[in-house]
């Protein structure tokens, strides 16, 4: 593993309905001297803007905070295509109301405690099932996020062969945050819940990332202004994008062809990068 790796890194905190109030946030940076440098944050307030950014012909490795696949159990029970690309095209053809109704009917037919189907990666990552349509609506994030990746022709290791200069991986900031904070919450979109305790948690998390105190062994390099910006963003969106940036940096170190993903991952479900 080299001390320095070339190329742009990006971490994406995604919104399925971006706006000026709740934009998609990109944390852009690079690795040098064993550190991950945050270069800048970009905010995109439309899905069209997100698609345009992805289509720019520049090399990068990115981790995106939305699911790249659905649970195999769900897909098979619904009779949808089990080929990933065919499944994603079918899923993209559905409206959100159709998705909500279909998934709700699936859950209603199942026993309490086992309503949702899960992907193999959900347990080690501690992530929400990718068919969940509320709190958080990751099913709609998949619906909004994967089509622009495909339209841009990027490479999705283990799922879809594309332009290998632009490598997109499924990230999950909660995985890295929990390693540092345990069950402490560090963010909320609800202003009433943007408490001093969550502010302290963000400070603790940022300090740990700067000191490389995670199993990824990566140290985050921030300017004073960037540290203040991540601390002051009570929604946690900028910090989540930065956590994904670190996951992208780890994947870049692991390198092609798998970028740290398990070689045996389910080619329908996908896998969250850095999940055990």
How much is the pLDDT for 6?
Answer: 63
Give CA separation, 96 vs 90, 100, 137, 199, in Å. 13, 6, 11, 35
Q: Angle 269-113-106 (CA atoms, 0-180°, nearest 5)?
A: 55
Q: Which residues of the chain have pLDDT under 70?
A: 1-6
pLDDT value of position 30: 97
Q: Global pTM?
A: 0.95
- Does residue 240 contact residue 266 with C-beta atoms inside 8 Å? no
Rounded distance, CA 127 to CA 86, Å? 24
Q: What is the DSSP letter of 16?
A: S
Predicted confidence at residue 33, as pLDDT, reads 86
pLDDT of res. 34? 82
All residues at 6 or more sequence positions from 19 whose CB lies less than 8 Å from its CB, including other chains: 45
């Amino acid at each position: 593993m080299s001390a320095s790796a070339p190329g742009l890194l990006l971490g994406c905190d995604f919104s399925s309905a971006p706006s000026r109030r709740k934009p998609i946030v990109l944390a852009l940076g690079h690795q040098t001297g064993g550190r991950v440098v945050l270069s800048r944050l970009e905010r995109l307030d439309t899905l069209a803007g997100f698609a345009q950014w992805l289509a720019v012909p520049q090399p990068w490795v990115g981790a995106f905070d939305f699911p790249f696949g659905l649970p195999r159990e769900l897909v098979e029970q619904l009779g949808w295509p089990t080929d990933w690309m065919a499944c994603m095209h079918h899923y993209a053809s559905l409206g959100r109301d159709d998705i909500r109704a279909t998934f709700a009917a699936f859950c209603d037919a199942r026993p309490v405690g086992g309503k949702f189907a899960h992907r193999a990666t959900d347990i080690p990552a501690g992530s929400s099932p990718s068919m969940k349509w509320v709190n958080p609506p990751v099913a709609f994030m998949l619906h909004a996020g994967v089509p622009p990746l495909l339209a841009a022709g990027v490479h999705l290791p283990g799922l879809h062969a594309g332009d290998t200069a632009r490598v997109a991986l499924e990230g999950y900031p909660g995985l890295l945050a929990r390693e540092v904070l345990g069950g402490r919450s560090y963010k909320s979109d609800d202003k009433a819940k943007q408490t001093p305790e969550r502010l302290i948690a963000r400070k603790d998390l940022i300090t740990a990332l700067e000191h490389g105190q995670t199993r990824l062994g990566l140290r985050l390099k921030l300017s004073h202004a960037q540290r203040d910006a991540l601390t002051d963003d009570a929604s946690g969106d900028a910090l989540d994008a930065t956590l994904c940036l670190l996951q992208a940096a780890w994947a870049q170190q692991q390198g092609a062809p798998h970028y740290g993903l398990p070689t045996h991952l389910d080619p329908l479900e996908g896998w969250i990068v850095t999940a055990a």
